[in-house]
Every structure is written in C-alpha cells, then in structure tokens.
Amino acid sequence: MKNKPVFIFFISLFLSLYGLAQEKKSQERAPSPTKEQTGKKPHAYYSLRIGADISKLIRTFSDKNYNGLELVGDYRLNNRYYIAGEIGKENKNSTTNYFDFATRGEYIKLGFDYNSYTNWYGMENMIYFGARYGFSSFSQEVSRYDLHTLHNIYWNETLSGTQSDILTTYHGRTAHFLEGSLGIKVELFKHFYAGASVRFTYLLYNKNNDFPNFWIPGIQRVWEDSHFGINYNYTLTYMIPLFKK
C-alpha cells in the first residue's frame, strides 16, 4: 500500500502531539520549581542540535530502487527561533508506463524554525513551524521509453524507442524551491531527541530541457504541471550544549 508510510506518519504525529498536550496539562496543575526549590537559576540551553533523517535510512534498506541520506541540524537563536537546515543526497530508479529513468543528486535546505511550545523548567521540547529555501543539483538517466501509435493503444503492444539522444544521461539539472513544515521534537533522554515533520514544497524553478523532471532530490515526486509537493521525515538528533542563558 503506497500511502501506508503517510498514514503511519500522521498517526505518530498525532500521538506525539497528544503526549505533549498531556505533559502540558500536568505542568499547568503543578507549579514550576522556583530558584529556591531547585537551588539553581532557571536557564535554557543554547546549543547545536545535529542528527539524521532515519526514514531515508530505513527506506534505503527496504527499497531496492532508492538510496538516500539526509543530515539535519539547528541552532537556537532565542527562546522561540532556531536557524535550521538539511543537507542530503538521493538516488531513485523510477519505472512508469512510458519510460524508465534514474535520478542522482544532492540538495541543501536553509531556513528557520519557530517553536510554538512553552516548555516547563528544564525541558527543551518543540512543536514548531518552519520555512526553508532549497536548492537541488542532479542528473536524469533515461534507460527506456515507449513510442505511442494508434495501433499500439488498441493492441497494447510495446514499441520501445531507440534514439540515442533520448536514451542518455541529462547532466546539470537544477531546481530551486520553498518549503514549509510542521513538526515536533521530543526529548527521549538527556540531550537526545526524536522528531517528525510533514513538509510542503513549492517548486520555484527547475531546469528540464528535453526530458521532464518527475523526481527531484530534496522534493521527491514531482507531478506534471504542478508546483506543489508533500513529504515527511523522522529524525534522531543529539543536542550539543554550548552555553546556558
């Protein structure tokens, strides 16, 4: 079932949000510790958090037509805002009714996250909204394409094309895009976080002379005549405390 990972994502996102909501209720019932009670001045960590998207690693081992790696990171600017970004590479072999092609490339995304969640003393969880500007550089290698004739349509015959200028590798492809995200990050234990997010992309520009870009690293599936896309990620990250404030 192709949509199963999407359903699993939304279920896990809902359960995580529900858990944070229950935590929030507990915080509201219990007063926050004071400086006298803890013996410490309330503080927040200003830190660099780095990790990886484990969904791409899992897919790499479970899908023979896919190989990908994405590293993620963020740096806290103040109580609400974080500089954030991702860098990665993806290889994808695609088979359609009309042609087979392989996509190979890298991408980078840079932007910020806004944490809308108010933590209790000593906690660093996030429910955030994010925005990114993305750039992707890749190639498309076409290994098969079919010719279409009236006879072929009625009799379901396969007529494979053989033109070498089509059965080739298209190098130097690029794409620019904007991305908005909604996600969570929950501290599993000290300085170690699990996260999940859903990401909405808008394709600004893509270089696609001669052969269309139906799959772009960093965006993934691209539909013809559409600039919009959606994907998701699961992350495991470690927070490196730099200083307290």
What would the pLDDT profile of 176-235 be if each residue is shown by its tens digit? Answer: 999 999 999 999 988 999 999 999 999 999 887 788 899 999 999 988 778 998 999 999
pTM: 0.80
More confident residue, 49 or 34: 49
185 burial via Cβ count (<10 Å: 0-12, 13-18, 19+)? buried
Q: How confident is the model at residue 151 (pLDDT cuts 50, 70, 90)?
A: low
Q: Band of the pLDDT at 101, cuts 50, 70, 90?
A: very high
Closest to 126 measured CA to CA, from 180, 77, 194, 70:
194
- Which residues does 217 contact at the CB level (< 8 Å), separation at least 6? 68, 88, 89, 90, 92, 103, 104, 105, 106, 107, 136, 138
What's the pLDDT band for 152 if we cut at 50, 70, 90? low
pLDDT value at residue 115: 95
What confidence score (pLDDT) does residue 241 get? Answer: 85
Q: Is residue 160's pLDDT more than 70?
A: yes
What are the start-end ranges of the H helices in 40-161? 54-62, 150-155
